Each structure stands twice: as structure tokens, then as C-alpha cells.
Amino acid sequence: MRPSGRDLNQMREVTIETGILTHADGSCLICVGDTRVICSASLGERVPMFRRNTGLGWITCEYAMLPGSTHSRNRRERTVGHPSGRSQEIQRLVGRSLRSCVEFASMGERQIIIDCDVINADGSTRCAAVTGGWVALRIAMDRLMEGRKIASDPLVNQVAAVSCGAYAGQTLLDLDYAEDSEAETDANFVMNDDGNWIEVQCTAEGMPFTSARLTEFLSLAEFGITQLFALQRSAVGRLLPVA
Amino acid sequence: MRPSGRDLNQMREVTIETGILTHADGSCLICVGDTRVICSASLGERVPMFRRNTGLGWITCEYAMLPGSTHSRNRRERTVGHPSGRSQEIQRLVGRSLRSCVEFASMGERQIIIDCDVINADGSTRCAAVTGGWVALRIAMDRLMEGRKIASDPLVNQVAAVSCGAYAGQTLLDLDYAEDSEAETDANFVMNDDGNWIEVQCTAEGMPFTSARLTEFLSLAEFGITQLFALQRSAVGRLLPVA
Amino acid sequence: MRPSGRDLNQMREVTIETGILTHADGSCLICVGDTRVICSASLGERVPMFRRNTGLGWITCEYAMLPGSTHSRNRRERTVGHPSGRSQEIQRLVGRSLRSCVEFASMGERQIIIDCDVINADGSTRCAAVTGGWVALRIAMDRLMEGRKIASDPLVNQVAAVSCGAYAGQTLLDLDYAEDSEAETDANFVMNDDGNWIEVQCTAEGMPFTSARLTEFLSLAEFGITQLFALQRSAVGRLLPVA
Amino acid sequence: MRPSGRDLNQMREVTIETGILTHADGSCLICVGDTRVICSASLGERVPMFRRNTGLGWITCEYAMLPGSTHSRNRRERTVGHPSGRSQEIQRLVGRSLRSCVEFASMGERQIIIDCDVINADGSTRCAAVTGGWVALRIAMDRLMEGRKIASDPLVNQVAAVSCGAYAGQTLLDLDYAEDSEAETDANFVMNDDGNWIEVQCTAEGMPFTSARLTEFLSLAEFGITQLFALQRSAVGRLLPVA
Amino acid sequence: MRPSGRDLNQMREVTIETGILTHADGSCLICVGDTRVICSASLGERVPMFRRNTGLGWITCEYAMLPGSTHSRNRRERTVGHPSGRSQEIQRLVGRSLRSCVEFASMGERQIIIDCDVINADGSTRCAAVTGGWVALRIAMDRLMEGRKIASDPLVNQVAAVSCGAYAGQTLLDLDYAEDSEAETDANFVMNDDGNWIEVQCTAEGMPFTSARLTEFLSLAEFGITQLFALQRSAVGRLLPVA
Amino acid sequence: MRPSGRDLNQMREVTIETGILTHADGSCLICVGDTRVICSASLGERVPMFRRNTGLGWITCEYAMLPGSTHSRNRRERTVGHPSGRSQEIQRLVGRSLRSCVEFASMGERQIIIDCDVINADGSTRCAAVTGGWVALRIAMDRLMEGRKIASDPLVNQVAAVSCGAYAGQTLLDLDYAEDSEAETDANFVMNDDGNWIEVQCTAEGMPFTSARLTEFLSLAEFGITQLFALQRSAVGRLLPVA
């Protein structure tokens, strides 16, 4: 039915391996099928200018793709001198999503930078970055608490993301690159563990969509994100909540 | 009730003045309350590299704010050397929205650049840019047809945009800057004149939202955009459709 | 006689509308025929590095053209990463001209940035920027005095500018674009209200000129600038001096 | 004796895993202890300007470090707008080393770009990049020959690299980060499988060295590189030469 | 009287040494007192885009200062990424001045780049660049004619430049740095050998000036430039015109 | 035998003229045949960030070539926005070489910037920069001691550099451009006056080399550098050491 042979509501296999970097304060390799993203969290003692002397922390994100990660080699952004519009959109999305889970007063005037570097790209890299980014952040926060630098846990929510799309009149969950390019839609959903939405982004350059379709997307996205929450908790050694 | 004193579903006064530039192929000044944006369309004979020798046209958009348009003076992006992440997100959104209305084969291998320059900012500038950008594009397309450079009209749809937000438990249409900063949400909707969605972007850094809230947004956005369609048609001398 | 049909010493109609921006500390739209420039003054509390701890203020200027303001669309300077040589020359000229009117000790260690953005270009935009820039600066200084932030008026002179050129053996005042491109000269004059020159810039890439011609320019420029002084005073609610 | 506890002439464990990227024409992950570098080879049909219409191919290299790969987070070079001096030195070194193995006439007018991205850094990353870069290049060349795009093998030599250093009067092979920072020397050696040197770079900011020391370095480097040759051949499925 | 002890109308000693570079098509070192500028002319076969296929040539100029040439070390412009506003103004001035002497049709579709690099700065470097630039250009044109690449001499005029200034109520010729900083004026004059003006630039940030003063400047400038014409002709082996 | 007609171990004529700049704290023009480099030392009161509050000084180097110094005109690096890879490699080499001679604690928390600007290039410019850079630094240090700003001499060693190469089976000292391009090797040696090596850099893109060849290079380099030491001492008014 769908190009990948998966069921309409079937995600690809997802694995999350933590501790893959020796220097970062938190790190993981998240694999969503052939999409592979290294997420790392680095603690900096200085916050951005607009946060100075507020007592509040900050989370920022940077996203990039390795040159060899894409079908045709992807030119390094350092040559251009700034992140592409696409990279900026994605890292702003990931940053907002992670910040929505944080109580900044508990964090102290510190910044954590989340780096999401795509090693291999097969669609939905921004969703993998949100999901893996949370894991790296969770580990870094745990380390801060272990080191008794902060007293209460600033990371009060869990957040994860999936993509959806429409293809041949049907609604699909978690599009890989081949599906994404045929479907010509780009719908991404970020939800927290209270079951509320953090981001809903549906873009239809090729195919305008109805409100009914959007409702289907929401339902499918919730189904997928719930599975990701369990995988994240397992990766960071948290019990699953009692259903 | 709402800070501006408007009804929940009441838009600000919107005016569209065309022909304000002497050199551009199409232009207008759109005012949405105190938000004022100059939109101009410039015809270029060359398309971007990826369109060369395809016979297909292209629409691109650039968005910027004058330094004096914002509360505290806004540093020129030329100093930084590239558009900010925010500017890039907005011009990508406007570009996608306008391209969704165009049959590129009818347009010939031409590019039209839509420039949206914010003269004065009071919230929802990106929505004003989409709505005014369509007017500038409509005028430029009319001129191309008058000059018999193209045979059939490539601009087959109409498109417009509004913002929504939640404030004190209520759902508001068309937020001005004061409302936008209190509501801490950023929801933007682009619809075409077939009643289908082109873009749905709901961002909740401060306040996660439910699927029910999103449904309210959609309904309110449709109500506002329908009014904008009539204003656009009037500005470019088109009859209103029989209801 | 001259392409525009005007008399040799006749300026175009000039209007100055103040208060056109809601956030700037001073603003105006100056129209010299079809040349239209938005001038705004923004007060910053910090002066440039070389002025720190001197107790002296500073005035700086930035000049740019909207992409749709020119005959063929004008590429945004943010793409290049810095102002063009032409923009830099103009903003340096406007800055020097305005600074010549200011007693910096009375101003306190503050900076005012004058932004001159050309909305529509039809020749002599740099002269319009000087003339309109002074109006924006006058309003900002008035506001500073009203707010009792400064005790005595730092803006002790008035300054304005016009262009001249030679065409078919005759000397013209206030060239529009069509005249400017045929005359192939670029002569600009800045005078203060003591009747002294601040800047005299005559450039003759196409047509070297004699000292006699320069004398004619000076006389014509004085004639035009005197008219601009009256318009500026009227725009900012000052009485005309008794002749 | 040495900080890592290894023998003076003992290298860290080296592994080379090929085929780790799905899109690149050749790829491997090389691990030298905790130094981990992804090397990929991407075939481009266009050579640089100076090679056009010569019938000759070209090999170029780009080197970068992920932000999370280093002790304190490493700022992305895209922020600066160009590779750092260190990155440029390294990628020039790797490029020269690989080009020394290639007969460009057999390669045809093609370019292969070798990307070396450091995932985790623990000293001697440039040597790992040379050694792993050769493996990625070997695989890409094999693919070109399998696809019958080239007739005879352009990669006529094998090349690999190691570091040496002096520490407490002794000469060490393959320094890790802790050793490198104490020894305060930076000596790197590139040799081909004819036993000749391609690069000898000894830098002594902290500790000038004698000709005798340099002779010891050469002998130790040859000992290490010979081991790397065997690992490279094994990784790409080549028999070891009869000793 | 004047800080340097020179007479009011006395220039510093000027020397012009040609042929100082082995690769350039024309070169000289011009010394005006302690102001020393290397001027070189490099022939390029390609003209800028706007000249392509017109059959016309072009002259462009680049100006820069060595870091060690100024009182406090001058930061390299490569760090900033573009020439400063001051450098751009000067190179535009030098380019216009030299182009005013050239018949582009005789030159063929070639470009000559004039590089003016200040080795040591002691005021009036832009004037030295114009005067020395003409010498480098004259030599390069001679070489083109000797090589029979062009038939008739495109360099139909001679051009040179001096500075003037007002100091303690008197009018001075050729200001050195010490004089220039006290006089607080910046007046530069470019004249051709027909006795007509190419550029007149008088800037008075510190001290507005009268038309009478400007007339004195013109007379003094002509006196100085006439002397430079003789030195230029001598440097390139031309006879002096019969007076 | 060798293209230049010199003996295998014969250097070109070397001259060092000091005091050629009026503002720099130390300066010289070093000529090695037709290679001519201006070296200047500028004292800055601020050290780089990583040296702040350490009480230690720093030496940094910048290297560039004038556009007219090379066979075909060399594009200014300011156009590119950063030094080329080659320039960075060279200035890092010169900086390391000079720093190896300095006791930073005696110098106080000051920085000296060494600028090496190539006026005319004929091979081995980086070696000339090291040798001339030391002379400029020596003069600046002498001035610091004369001004009693520092008590004991921080410049405790002398350093100089030469190039070597292999050509037609023979080993040459001090290659000029013609020799360098035929030999296709690039070997540079930096030695201090204790007879120890600071840098050994042998690069063989065209022609791999043996350990025996490297030994010959070392011997020849020492022979050349010894002569440079005498020239340096003479230039700065030091006695030659008793042999």
C-alpha cells in the first residue's frame, strides 16, 4: 500500500543509544529507520545577553547535516557563512519544543546547548532531533542534579515528535524520504506528556488540505508519539508510567 | 475583554492601496491596523538554477523590517550578512503560500520576486505579507497578460492569511502586538479560495494547546480570511463572487 | 528646455509629513517629486566605543533603498553582507552633515541613529535624506528636551541639501533621474542656516567642469536650499525667521 | 611510563567499519581509541575550475569536528563563515596525502570529495582522517570501476598516517589527547606503501628538537603505519601483500 | 606658520619610482613626503559583467592600507570581510578619476585593475593614489601598445590630485597628517591636463566654509597639480609640454 | 645545473633594511633575491582572551600578499572575508616560530602583532617572513626595554628559516619560484640559535621522499640558516657570537 510496505499507522523501528560521546554532558544516537541523528547536550555557564542577571536558564539548539548524509552531497554551511533557512527553521523548532518542558528558574542562570547532527538522512530528521534532543537534555539535567548544582528538577515534561503525510488519499505516520517526496506534504507534530500540542506545522505547497485531514493527522501523531515516550523513558532509565 | 477592546472575532481595519511604487511591476501598501507593509512584485527574466530549461516559472519572496518599524530599533540584516532565522521562516512561508496559487507552466520560464517590507509593525506582519503579496502578484500577472507575454492566467487561486491566539481562556482573531505578547502564542493560517488550508502553524512555547483549541482557531481563521478575500478582489478590480 | 519641463532653477514639489512611524523617536516621509524617503530617528543609550566616557553624544546614519524602489529591482544588501560602496558614501555624507549642526556636550552621552530608507527613487535621494534626516533629528531632540533628559538644545543649526548638474551647456537645479542620467554629472551641496557650506561634492566622470561652472552651481544650490529651510521649519512647527 | 599505560611504540586499538552511510559513494567509521571519524567519499561530475577541459580528475578534502566532539563544546564553523585555520591546515594535509596516490588521467575529469567529520576527539584526528579517508576513497574507486565508468584503477598507492611525540625524554607513538597536551609537540607522518614519505610535519612550540629525535620519530612512524596498511587492506577486502 | 614649517602653497617633496614590481604590467612607488603608496596596474582579459560584449574596456581601482602604515595599527579589512566605507570611497574616487582619461573603445574589451596600497601614511594618501595610479596606468597602456594589442592610445589625458585645507584662517596646500588633524577639513581636488576639474570634494565636519574659501582652494590646487603633471611626465619618460 | 645557475647550497643575496615605517614599533624590509617582504611589529596593550589576567604576553602574526606581488594578480582576501588556507598556514607557522623564542612572563601582559606583507613574490616568502619577522620583533623588544616598560629581555633566542627542495635527483637550498614550481616539493625549516629545530615541514604531493633525503635537507638548511643569523644580528646592531 505505502511505498515502504508499512501499515498506515506503523512507525519505523526506533532505537536510542545513550552515552556515545565522551565529552558531552549528555548524548545519544537516535535511529528512526535509516535516519540517524547524534544529539548532544553541552552545559555552558553563560546565558545569552537577554537572560543575563535574570536568574533564569536557557536552552538553545543547533541543527546540521553532515555532507555525506544526503542523496547528493550537502554543501557545508560554513562555506555559506550561516545556517540555511531550513536549518534555522528546524533548530528554532527543536529549541522551542525543548524549552516548553523546562522551568527556567530551577535551572539557574545556565545555558544548555543541544546539538543535533544528522549522520544519515531518510526523512523526518527534525522529529528525530526533537525526540533525541530530549534524551540528551534529560541526561544533562540528571548530571546537574547529581552534582548538586541544582536542587529541583527543571525538566518537568517530556516531549517527542513525529511526521505525518497524505498519500493517495490515505493518511500515513512517520514518512521516510521516498514517501515524503511522493506525498509532497510536510506535517510535523510535537506533543508533551500531558497530551497537549507544542507545535503543529502543516505545509501544503503541492496539495492543500482540509480540516478533516488535519484531524486525522492529530490522531495518528498522538498514536506515534505515545510510543516514542516509552522509548525515551527506557533510554534514560525511567519507569514507564502506570497506564 | 481583549486588550484592544475588539470583539473576539473582530479583525482590525484593513486597507490595501495599489500602485504606490513607480517602477515595480505590481505594488501595494497593506495596512492591518498599525501594521503597514509595502509589497512589490518585480519580474525577472531568469529563474533560479533548478528551474533552468524546464519551461516552468517561479515565485520567490523576500521579507524584511525597516529599522524604525519596531519598538526598539531593529538592526539591519545587511550588518549580519544574511536574513535572520525569523525573516527566513517568514519569507519561506509567504513564498510557499503564493506558489500554491500558480500554474507554473502557464507562466513561462520567468521569475517574479515578491518583496514584503514592513514599514511599521504592530503584530501579524507575516499574515499581512501573504495577503498583500497576493495583490502585488495579481497586478504583475495582469500586466504580463496585457502585454501578451503570457496567454492564460497562471494565477489560478487566491490566498490570504490571518493570525489567531488564545488569551485568558478565549480564542482571538488577528492579534496586535500587545495581544500577541500577552497571549504568548503564535498561530498563523493560510487558506485559499477553495476553502482549503495551505499552511497551519501553531506554536506554543508558553502555553501548550489542545486539539479542541486548534479546531476553534481553524473556524475563526476561515471567518477572517473570507473577509480578506473580498478586500483583495476589490483592490485589484475584481467582482466579488456570487455568494 | 530641461527634460522635466521645469525652469532651470525650479525645484520639484517637496512635501514633508511627520510622525509617520509609531515607535521611532522622530520620523518623517519626505517627497521630492517621485523621490520618497522615510527618515526616522532612534535614540540609543549607548554611544560608539570611541565616545565612551567622554560625556559627548553622537549621531550616526544608515541609508538603504527598498528593492522595489529602483528601475530594475535592487538586490538587498543583506545578501552581500555589507552596505554597497554607494550606500556607505551616502550614509557617511548624511551623518557628517547632521553632526555639523550638533553640540555634542549638550546632548549627553547618547547616540541617535538616523535611518533613511528610500521607498521610491527618482534622483537626488541623498539630498532628500539629509533634508528629511534633519527633520527626524529635530523631532527627536524636541522629545528629549520635553522629557527633560537634556537641558539645552544640542541642535544649534539647520541643514539641508540639493543637487545640481550641467545639461546642454546650462546649469540645472534638483535633477530627477531622467535628467541625472543624461547630464552625467553628480553635484551635491549641503549648506547650513548660517549660509556656509558643509559639503561640496562635484564629480565629473563624463564631463570635466570649469571653476566658473562650479560658481554657478553654488549660487543655484543656495537658492534651492533656502526654500528647503522654510519647508523644514514649517514641518517641525517653527516660525520662519524674519527675513 | 606513558600516561595511557601503553608501551612507547604501542598504538591504540584501531577499527575501521565500512558502509556506514546509505548515500555516499564510499564511507567508513574509523576508531583510533576514542578518536572516531566518519569518512565519506562523494563523486561529483565537475572538477574545480583549474582542472576544466584537462581530462584530469581531482580529489579534495573537507574536515570538521562536531560541536560535541571536544572537551569544551566546539563552536560551529558556519557561525564564523569559514573553516578555522586549523581545519584548513588539516584538510589541505589530507587532500595532498590522498592525491599523492592517484593517477588523475585514469580517473577522468571527475572530482571525489572526501569528508572527514570528527564525531569524538581524543588526539591524532588528522591521522585518523588520512587513514580512513583512503578507505572511503578506495571504496568509491572500486564502485567507479564496477560501474565501468573508468577502465584502469587510478588509486595506485596506499597511504596512512600516525602521530609521534616526545615525552619525558622518550619517544612515543600515537598520542592520545592527554599525552599530546603534556608532550607539547605535534609531529605527524604520512607514508605510502612504497615506504616513502608524503608528509613530515614536526612542530615544536614548546620544545625544540634535535635531528636525532626526528630520526627516532621516522622509525616509530614507519612501524605504526605498516600496521595501519594491514587494517586498511582488510577493511576493503584486499589480501595482505606477501611479506 | 604652518605646523610643517612649509610655505602655505608649498608641497612636500614628491618622488615617483617606476618598475618596482617584477610581475605587474605597470608599477610605481610614489612618495609624497612620508606618504608612500605602491601603485600597480594589472591587465585582465575579462571586463565586468555590465561591459561584456560591448567592445569597451574598463578601469577599476582597489585601495588599502598596510596594517603597519598608520599611527595605531590598522586592522586588516579581510577580517571584516569587505573594504571599509573609507576605502570604498577612496577607490571609487581613484577609479572615476582615471576613467575620465580613457577612451574605452580604443582599449578593447579589457580591464585594467589599479591597486593602490599604502605602505606608510602621512596624510593625503588618496591624492597620492590618483597621481601614482595614473603613472602605473600609463606604463601598462604603453606596454599594450608595444605589444601591438591596441592600435591607438586610449589614455588621452593626464590626471593628478592634491589636498587643501584651512588652518588658523589661512589656506594650505598638501596637508600632512599633523596638519590635517588640526585643520579638521578634508578637501581634495582632481584636475586633468586640460585644466578642468574631475572631482571637487570639500567636507567640513568641524568648520563650515564660505564660497570665497572654496575659490582659494581651487587656485591653490591648480598650482600644486601643475607641478605633479611635470613629475608624472618625467617618471614615464614623456617630454614636458612647451609652456 | 639548477635553473637559477646558483650552486646547490648557495642562497640568494639577502638584505635586511630596518626602520622603513614611521609608525610601527619595529620594522624591516627583507629581500631574498626578488622576494621582498615588509615586516612590522605593533605593540598592543591587550592580549587575546585566553591570556587575560595571566600576566603573560603573546605574539601573533598576520601574513598577506599584495595583489600585484604575484605572477597573475592575486585577489584581495578582504573580498573573500577571511585569509586563505595558505595564508593561515603561513601566519600560524610564523607565529609559532617567533613565540618559541619568547619568555612570556618577562614580556608582561602585552601583545605584539607581527605583520608580514609580501610586496613582491619569488618563492620562499614564508621563510623570509620568519627571518624578517624576528628582526621586527627584536627592534620592538629593544624599544620596550629602552622605555623601561620591561626589565629583562623576553626575546631569549634567535630564529630564522630557509626552504629546501629536490630537483633532478639533487638537493637544493633556497628555491626561487622557477625552481620551486619544477621541483614540486615544498620543504621548510625553522631553526633557533641553539641549533635545534622549531619546525620541519616536508610536503611531497608530486614526489615522495626517503629518510635519506630528509637528512640531506636538514644539513643544507642548517648551513643556510647560520648565514641568516649573522645577517639578522648585523641588521639589529648585535655583535656576531665568537665562533
F242 pLDDT above the threshold of 70: no
What does the DSSP 8-state code read for residue A155?
B
Name the CATH superfamily, with its identifier, for domain A14-73+86-235.
GHMP Kinase, N-terminal domain (3.30.230.70)
**Confidence bin at A64 (pLDDT 50/70/90):** very high
| SS3 of residue E238 by DSSP | coil
Burial E226-240 (b: 16+ CB within 10 A, else e): eebbebbbebbeeee
Residue E168 is predicted with a pLDDT of 80
Mean local confidence (pLDDT), C13-37:
97
C185 pLDDT above the threshold of 90: no
Residues of C in contact with B119 (CB under 8 A): 21, 38
Chain B, 145 to 184: residues with Cβ < 8 Å from chain A are none
Q: What is the pLDDT of residues F33-75, one digit of tens each?
A: 999 999 999 998 789 999 999 999 999 999 999 999 998 999 8
F127 CB within 8 Å of a chain E CB: no
Residue C184 is predicted with a pLDDT of 65
A64 CB within 8 Å of a chain D CB: yes
Q: What is the pLDDT of residues A161-186, one digit of tens each?
A: 999 998 888 899 999 998 888 876 78
Residue E204 is predicted with a pLDDT of 85
Residue A79 is predicted with a pLDDT of 78
| SS3 of residue D180 by DSSP | helix
The minimum CA-CA distance between A199 and chain D, rounded to whole Å, is: 27
Residue C243 is predicted with a pLDDT of 58
CA gyration radius for chain D? 18
E180 pLDDT above the threshold of 90: no
CA distance F112 to C65: 42
CA distance E126 to E83: 15
Element housing C190 (H / E): strand C186-192
| SS3 of residue C37 by DSSP | strand
Residue D185 is predicted with a pLDDT of 73
The closest of B156, B125, B131, B127 to B57, measured between CA atoms, is: B156
Residues of F in contact with D214 (CB under 8 A): 197, 200, 214, 218
Helices (H), chain A: 77-80, 85-99, 104-107, 125-146, 177-183, 211-235
**Confidence bin at C191 (pLDDT 50/70/90):** very high
The arrangement of strands across the sheet holding A197-203 comes to A170-173, A159-167, A186-192, A197-203, B197-203, B186-192, B159-167, B170-173
Residue A182 is predicted with a pLDDT of 81
Percent of the residues in chain E that have a pLDDT greater than 90, as a whole number: 81
The residues pairing with C115 across neighbouring beta strands, listed in sequence order, are C40, C62
- pTM score of the predicted model: 0.91
| Contact in structure between E105 and E167 (CB atoms under 8 Å) | no
CA distance F84 to B90: 35
Mean local confidence (pLDDT), C134-141:
98
The closest of E39, E37, E56 to E47, measured between CA atoms, is: E56
Residue D243 is predicted with a pLDDT of 58
The residues pairing with B43 across neighbouring beta strands, listed in sequence order, are B112
Q: Which residues of chain D have pLDDT under 50?
A: none
Substitution target in D196, D209, D216 with the highest count of F β-carbons within 10 Å is D196
C78 pLDDT above the threshold of 90: no
Residue C242 is predicted with a pLDDT of 62
C45 pLDDT above the threshold of 80: no
| Contact in structure between E18 and E39 (CB atoms under 8 Å) | no
Residue A44 is predicted with a pLDDT of 86
Size of chain B in residues: 243
Q: What sign does the dihedral A54-A59-A62-A63 (CA atoms) show?
A: negative
E220 pLDDT above the threshold of 90: yes
| Contact in structure between B135 and B236 (CB atoms under 8 Å) | yes
Residue B186 is predicted with a pLDDT of 80
**Confidence bin at F205 (pLDDT 50/70/90):** low
Residue D62 is predicted with a pLDDT of 97
Average pLDDT score over chain A:
93
Residue F100 is predicted with a pLDDT of 95
A140 CB within 8 Å of a chain D CB: no
Residues of B in contact with C44 (CB under 8 A): 73
Q: What is the pLDDT of residues A33-45, one digit of tens each?
A: 999 999 999 998 7
D115 CB within 8 Å of a chain A CB: yes
Q: Alpha carbon of D106 to those of A127, C158, D149, D198: distances in Å? A: 44, 75, 10, 21
**Confidence bin at F243 (pLDDT 50/70/90):** low
CA distance C30 to C32: 7
Please report, for chain B, how many H helices and E strands are present, in that order: 6, 9
| Contact in structure between D161 and D193 (CB atoms under 8 Å) | no
Residue F167 is predicted with a pLDDT of 83
CA distance B242 to C66: 39
Which residue of D82, D198, D214 is in closest CB contact with F204? D198
F90 CB within 8 Å of a chain E CB: no
E27 pLDDT above the threshold of 90: yes
With an 8 Å Cβ cutoff, are A196 and B210 in contact? yes
E46 CB within 8 Å of a chain F CB: no
* Cβ neighbours for D210, distance < 8 A, ≥ 6 positions apart: F196, F197
Helices (H), D100-207: 104-107, 125-146, 177-183
Mean local confidence (pLDDT), C65-71:
94
Which residue of F20, F66, F113 is in closest CB contact with E73? F113
Residues of D in contact with A176 (CB under 8 A): none
Residues of E in contact with C200 (CB under 8 A): 200-202, 214
Q: What is the pLDDT of residues E68-120, one digit of tens each?
A: 999 899 988 887 778 888 999 999 999 999 999 999 999 999 999 999 999 99
A69 CB within 8 Å of a chain D CB: yes
| Contact in structure between F99 and F47 (CB atoms under 8 Å) | no
Substitution target in B79, B196, B207, B213 with the highest count of A β-carbons within 10 Å is B196
Mean local confidence (pLDDT), E120-138:
97
Backbone conformation region of residue A237, classed left if phi is above 0, alpha if psi is from -120 to 50, else beta? left
Residues of F in contact with E32 (CB under 8 A): none
A211 CB within 8 Å of a chain D CB: no
Q: What is the ipTM of this complex?
A: 0.92
Residue A184 is predicted with a pLDDT of 65
Local confidence pLDDT in tens for the 243 residues of chain B:
788 899 999 999 999 999 999 999 999 999 999 999 999 999 987 899 999 999 999 999 999 999 999 989 998 888 777 888 899 999 999 999 999 999 999 999 999 999 999 999 999 999 999 999 999 999 999 999 999 889 999 999 999 999 999 888 889 999 999 888 887 678 999 999 999 999 999 998 678 999 999 999 999 999 999 999 999 999 999 877 665
Residue E169 is predicted with a pLDDT of 81
User: Amino acid identity, residue D190?
Assistant: V
The closest of D22, D6, D23 to D14, measured between CA atoms, is: D6
